A and B are shown apart, each in its own frame.
Chain A
Amino acid sequence: MSDRGWRTKRMRKALAAVVYTVLGRGLVASARLDDRVRREVRTWPDGTVVTLRIAPFGPQTSWRVSGGTLEHLGGGDARADLLVTFKSVDDAIPLLLGMQGVLAAFAEHRATVRGDLAVAMSLVRCLHIVEGYLFPDIVTRRILPHPAERRAGHLRAYGALVHRTAALEGATS
């Protein structure tokens, strides 16, 4: 691969890592704001670790279900019970930037799934809800199977996300 091609790929991976962080915290925030996400997460076996990864070396983001609530584990290594792996960064970027829906990405073989497919289907529904909060209607109309239905406004969702970020930073400082 040429230097330019390699630099572009690294930039895409850096972008994916940023979006993974937002998505990771966004799912946790959605679980606080939205009873539909909470209900989905409660159906996952306690202790389940869910990871989204880009092959072969990441980045990745993980969550763990604990006592029916969701905890974001960040981008470190985690022993995943449900592992969704995008075959390349070029397969992940369209989904992460709202250019392609989750179901379309699966249909086009852009990702593999290891683990319980029922939990994977539940995760997809959660991601649809999160995308409803993260993206404007002009995007969600194209990528979601149904019009986004929000239990809280965008601002409150972003506030929950930022608050969570602040809380995390507070905990680590």
Chain B
Amino acid sequence: MIPDYYEFCNSAKIVSGTKAIEHIGYELASLGASRPLVLTNKQLRDLKVATVVLDALKDTEAEVVAVYDDVPVDSSVVVVNDVARVYRETGADAIVAVGGGSVLDTAKGATIVLTHGAEDLMEYRGAESLMGRRAVAFIAIPTTAGTGSEVTSAAVIKDTERHVKMGFTSLSLLPDVAILDPRMTVGLPPRLTASTAMDALTHAVESFSCVQANPLSDCYARAAIDLIREYLPTVMADPKDRGARLALANAALLAGAAFSNAMVGIVHAMGHATGGVADVPHGDAMAILLPHGMTYNLDAAGDRYGELLMNLAGAEAYASTPRDERPAAAVEAVRSMMRTLHEQAGLPLTLGEAGVLPEHVSEIATAALNDGAMSMNPKQPTYEELTTILKDAL
């Protein structure tokens, strides 16, 4: 089914493959940049993951003007402003962001400051309200296979002084180039691999079933799920399998492009709220809440989930399941994946296992109702319905 109206943009150049990072000099030159600021965090430097990028940059005509590795776990407005300051002071002309969602979102925030001369990022919060071309060349190199931030038009940045999470969506936040290289993710521990993969799976499932799903985002979502179904078990069995790691990185990217255009819904709304209230890691929250959100949506999006059974469980399972049983079978396929990851990597199955207390439920439900993702869900829950879902997930 085609929506009456939709928009789709995935303008980032994708560079994917073994040693893909060695092309970074060419990519910078293509963007007309020669003085990159490399943004990463200390952990990635200690693990020598960022070193792969820095070594590749040594063998180029580009001059790295600064390596900023003070990005915290949650990107913050203080760090964003500091990155912008270093960028200006060093005369940089590009940002190369190496990291997970926090590093990439920090880079996106810095591009807003540098493009709009923003004194206060709060003024730029919102959806599609940033106008004009970005003034900063921007290359994103993800080190997890989950957020898809390397191809999304969204960023979340914390204002730690005012205790608010600021949401931004704008096509001007899309990186110019996204580089996927298995060397970036091959060292991810199984627990984190499982958690981030479930984040990517949730992006794909929600984008396929939310109100702005469209023929283009559907292709990306289905391809992402196929890759996760096929290669996540391989990576869990052999974390050093670089081919499978690259496939998972591609799955996360595909899912990111899907949800950047078709948006996400109730699972992300509850997941953001759960992270904010009870500090549950995003991927864990996604994994726990995905089957619950799908179950709630069954009467509004059951047909779409039924279609996804093909991707979630494979062609044989799809063909052998009667049409009217496919939606529930799709939910069960996700639960089955969850149980396997619980056994293999200790991924929590309930919010309680993840540290959520019964007294958190009310606050999480309220925050989830106010989350922008909720507006894109195929069905709008009441506060009471949300508390029921969350209690079921406890």
A interface residues with partner B (beta carbon < 8 Å): 83, 85, 103-104, 106-110, 112-118, 120-122, 124-125, 145-146
Contact = CB atoms under 8 A, between A and B. Distances in A.
Interface in B128-179: 128-129, 164, 167
Contacts of A110: 5
Contacts, number: 66
Secondary structure of the B side of the interface? loop
A32 B152 CA distance: 42
B380 A145 contact: yes
B129 A108 contact: no
A146 B127 CA distance: 25
A120 B5 CA distance: 22
A103 B127 contact: no
B73 to A, nearest CB: 22
A112 B168 CA distance: 11
Nearest to A118: B370
Nearest to B170: A112
B126 A117 contact: yes
A110, A115, A146 interface centre (most CB from chain B within 10 Å): A115
B372 A121 contact: yes
A29 to B, nearest CB: 24
15 contacts: A85-B129, A103-B211, A106-B375, A107-B212, A107-B376, A108-B4, A108-B5, A110-B5, A117-B125, A117-B126, A117-B370, A118-B370, A118-B371, A121-B371, A122-B370
Contacts of B126: 83, 112-115, 117, 120
Contact of B125 (A107, A115, A121, A145): A115
Which 3 pairs across A and B sit closest by C-beta, in order of nearness? A145-B380, A114-B129, A118-B370
Given A112-B128, A115-B125, A117-B127, A104 B371 contact: no
B374 interface: yes
A96 to B, nearest CB: 17
B376 to A, nearest CB: 6
